[in-house]
Structure 1
Amino acid sequence: MANTNSSNQSFFESVQRNFDKAAKQTRFDKGILDQIKACNSILRVKFPVKIGDSIEVIEAYRVQHSHHKLPCKGGIRFSLEVDQEEVMALAALMTYKCAIVNVPFGGGKGGIKIDSKKYSAFELEKITRRYTSELCKKNFIGPGIDVPAPDYGTSSREMSWIVDTYASLNPNDLNAQACVTGKPVSQGGVRGRTEATGLGVFFGVREACSFQEDMDQLGLTTGVAGKRVIVQGLGNVGYHAAKYFYEGGAKLVGLIEYDGAIYDENGLDLNAVQAHRQQTGGILNFPGAISFSNPAEGLEQPCDILIPAALESVIHAENADKIQAKIIGEAANGPITAEADEILNKKGILVIPDIYLNAGGVTVSYFEWLKNLSHVRYGRLEKRFSENMYQELIDIIESTTGRKVSELERKTILRGPSEIDLVHSGLEDTMIGSYGEIREIYKNREGVEDLRTAAFVCAIDKIGVAYEELGIFP
């Protein structure tokens, strides 16, 4: 995930470049487009924290990119590579991402410039709590203002510290739990958040593979079953994406990690690879698979679907021409450089853009936020009612047909929806509906040549209309 400062700038510039390219295909005048593009509020703070016997001055950021809808929404990352340019780029992407998947948030992002591995849990807690108090002082956090979430280097642990600090500083805020998402379930988190991004990747690619016309152009059949898949990165997103493709009947032919890559054209058993990884500390030398000590070689192996789910800029001008995949699903943020994007498009590869495909996390964060505001667990009101209604249906079927429903059939039919069922269902509906909107623009809007541009156009259309309806442009 590490970047040099210059690459951060190019990442920011590539976001702006993609925006400008898409903006030409919309009806909005320059004033509205400039407002959509601009970062509305940027907070840069430095605060002292006592670490051991000395005092360290910590640098941190929070960017609110757009206020066309509130609250703002976006993760907080802990990394030495955090700087203003990177946080601004990621906040802008969050604005567009939320618009694409119809989540009513503006984009935000935060970062603390530290190497979290160098600190104890107690020291990280002190830093996180102090950062939260700075956000509170500057009015950069709150259920209706700005709602952070986990990102690179952070997890539900840090989110529990944030919600506790916010609640202690705002004792009369009934909705304090909604000030942050990605929390532990015991602290108001939602079931299904952990796998949300990886599952969203699966739903998005599966939907892209459902269109006969598009698959015919690629020389593929519809559906994911039987398709050869390579996944780069076995972190939270990559692992869950691989897991759902594997369970969905796809053939997992390649896996790539930081220490190398493995490939087996007959398919890999994901659980066996994970067990091997735990025993040996890496995926290399997995029995029956070809091993590559250079991870980049794994990207270039034959497959139908390639899922880069780890680092930025792993597909670039030097290796884009060697990519053999027919579909690339961007599970990571910015895994393809602008130069590589042009090469891949010319080759006829279908690139499903990150700005849509990895929006599963923010979609389920939205569900968590709604849960916190309603103060009711999903499924609590309807689960038992649904089961009782299904029981009545079974009784009617049995009495009408004279046939007994088997125990397995009974269990399957009677199960009322739990929280995780409803969350997964909502995520699936979101990814299917949003892909349809993007594809409609791609197929029918003149001048839109790829799905990435279509996704940006989709976002700009929705945000532009929101600004027009706010009536702030007399």
Structure 2
Amino acid sequence: MTAPLMSLVWTDHVTGRQGFLVVDRLVRGVASGGLRMRAGCTLQEVAALARGMTMKEALHYDPEGRYIPLGGAKGGIDCDPRDPEAYGLLVRYLRAMRPYIESFWTTGEDLGLTQDLVDRAAAEAGLASCVQAVYPLLDDERAARKRLADAFAVEVDGIGLDELAGGCGVAESVLAALDRASVPYPGTRVAVQGLGTMGGATARFLARAGLSVVAVADVKGTVANPAGLDVEALLAARDAYGTVDRSALRPGDRELPGDAWLSAGAEVLVPAAVSYAIDTANQERITARWIVEAANLPVRPEAEELLAARGVTVLPDVVVNSGTNAWWWWTLFGDIGPDAAEAFAHIRRSMRALIDLMLARVEADGTTPRTAAHALVTDRLPVIADRFGWYR
């Protein structure tokens, strides 16, 4: 594994807290990757996420598409997003990173931050947009920016299209895996850790596809119902951080400890919250057949080895949760318009093709899905580098 192109640590002059930026690679002079905020965030974590973004971009390379994948990058801030100092810290971080955002780093929401919050802080920091570095690559910047703004204004049953795009991709990954295994949707049970942007949207799409969401976890604990939860009611009862108001629970819903989702009696687990949620100790409690990584880095490598030995398939984050990032660029570059039906159809088609390609390689090579995904990236990165170079 090669070292990242650029890695920096920033120290806030007001609070002493640290922030990080890692640019793994540039393509056409630009790198893409979100900004996360969480207590305990480290440079090593951000570097791994930046490498993951390089992989996600490469996996969506289509030489015929208007969207040409960018390089990979990631930002991180070591702070609890609920801390009273968090917003001011975010503004100062973006102000410090302004030269990079204006020149080559396109960013957006990630763990702990919403897009609305990032946009508001970016404006306060003096930025025109958190994706302005990509504007020189657009054929018609004004039309492209309007298209993306229009897409962000679209709502589907009370939830913004931008929040639903990633979950649509995660759900389609689940459905593709079930289809390859000839497992019917009705009767298949799902447990989701995290009911924020990614977890909430994933739960909605899976429930509407006929699966039974039997457990969801948030910072207050796990809500479970073996007969199936009312996903729409839980989504309506969330706060901005994905925490469910317990007064909205039905009589059959049970409140359990926070880690109860791991052993909730589900065939599919969707970790959609924090990194490193599944380790060598708690993986022993998992009886699911599939773990579908909606979050970034939710399964530790050592745990994944133990799970694979037990016959549990982990569908990796670099494929599963890549739909959000791709949707931004498909929209901005004009591969799709600001329309929910068109967006969902494109996401489903692209994600299913990727999952099928990855699982076909698993079967052919006798390897794990993550190894197969890495092999696909290894095939595609030289093609991108030959066409565009490493830095330009």
Which of the numbers 246, 254, 258 marks the counterpart of 1:282? 246
Q: Which runs of 5+ in 2 are unaligned?
A: 62-67, 155-160
Give CA-to-partner distance per residue, 1:29-80, whole Å, 9 cap, x none. xxxxx5xx320112334464xxxxxx55664332110125542100012334
Contact 1:83–1:113 (CA under 8 A) maintained in structure 2: yes
The counterpart of 2:122, out of the listed 154, 159, 162, is 162
1:367 deviates by 2.1
Cα separation, partners in 2 of 1:78 and 1:184, compared to 1, 3 Å: farther
Shift of 1:351: 1.6
Q: Retained in 1: the 8 A contact 2:39–2:79?
A: yes
SS at match of 1:167: coil
Distance of 1:56 and 1:95 partners within structure 2: 32
Q: How does 1:436-447 map to 2 (within 5 A)?
A: 436-445=356-365
- Report Cα offsets for 1:101-134 as digits up to 9, x if no partner: 3361110011234444344798367425523xx4
Larger radius of gyration: 1
Unaligned runs of 5+ in 1: 1-33, 49-54, 216-220, 380-417
- Partner of residue 462 from structure 1, selected from 366, 375, 380: 380
Distance 2:329 2:52 in 1: 16
Aligned: 1:254 with 2:215: yes
Report the Cα distance in structure 2 between the residues aligned to 1:174 and 1:40, rounded to whole angstroms: 21
Alignment deviations for residues 262-318 of structure 1 (CA, whole Å, 9 cap, x no partner): 3322222213445677898338974113432x2222211212211111122222222
Quick one: distance in 2 between partners of 1:184 and 1:79?
31
Q: Tell me by how many angstroms 1:458 deviates.
A: 0.9
Contact between 2:39 and 2:80, CA under 8 Å: does it hold in 1? yes
- Measured after TM superposition, the shift of residue 250 of structure 1 is 0.8
Please tell me whether the aligned partners of residues 234 and 248 of structure 2 are also in contact (alpha carbons under 8 angstroms).
Answer: no
Distance 1:135 1:347 in 2: 47
Kept after mapping to 1: 8 A contact 2:151/2:162: no
CA RMSD of aligned residues (A): 3.6
Q: TM-score, normalised by structure 1?
A: 0.68
Contact 1:243 1:270 in 2 (8 A): yes
Alignment of 1:337-356 (within 5 A): 337-356=300-319
Are the equivalent residues in 1 in contact too, given 2:27–2:69 (CA < 8 A)? no
Equivalent residue for 1:225, pick from 142, 162, 186: 186
SS state at 2:102 partner: coil
Matches within 5 A, 1:406-421: 419-421=339-341
- Does the 8 A contact of 2:148 with 2:332 survive in 1? no
Deviation at 1:440, TM superposition (A): 2.6
Partner of residue 108, structure 2: 149
Partner residue of 1:5? none
Find the counterpart in structure 2 of residue 43 from structure 1: 8
Q: Does the C-alpha gap of structure 1 residues 264 and 470 become closer, same or farther in structure 2, counting only changes over 3 Å? A: closer
Are 1:210 and 2:179 an aligned pair? yes
1:94-113 counterparts in 2 under 5 A?
A: 94-102=53-61, 104-113=69-78
Alpha-carbon deviation of 1:441? 1.9
Q: Which residue of 1 aligns with 2:268?
A: 305
C-alpha contact (below 8 Å) 1:442/1:449 kept by paired residues: yes
